[in-house]
Amino acid sequence: MIKSIKHGKMKTYVGYTIDLKKRLYAHNSGKGAKSTKGRHWRIIFKKAYKNKSLALKAEYYLKTNYSIRNKIRSNMHLNLKIKLI
């Protein structure tokens, strides 16, 4: 999950990738997803999975579960132990 603050408003984005550095660079250079353009992003949560299927299930879970996203967003400095599938 990545986070951006622009004009005092915080926004988060969840996505799957096999190359985290490349994906973050794309978002920060305006070449990522449409909803990420025009902002500076930083990583606030990442997790590796054994296969793509598990990763996509976790991505969907995070995208649809705002209570978990808010916990991650507000406690990004802590070592969170969040079970995602």
DSSP 3-state assignment of 42? strand
Question: Containing domain of residue 43, as a range?
Answer: 2-74
Q: For the whole model, what pTM was predicted?
A: 0.80
Domain count, the chain: 1
Return the pLDDT at 42: 94
Interatomic CA distance for residues 52 and 55, integer angstroms: 5
The one-digit pLDDT tens for each residue of the chain (85 residues) are: 999 999 999 999 999 999 999 999 999 998 878 888 889 999 999 999 999 999 999 999 999 998 888 888 887 545 555 555 5
| Residue 65, domain member (yes or no) | yes
Short-list 49, 32, 50, CA closest to 40: 32
| Residue 25, domain member (yes or no) | yes
| Residue 50, domain member (yes or no) | yes
Radius of gyration of the chain (CA): 13
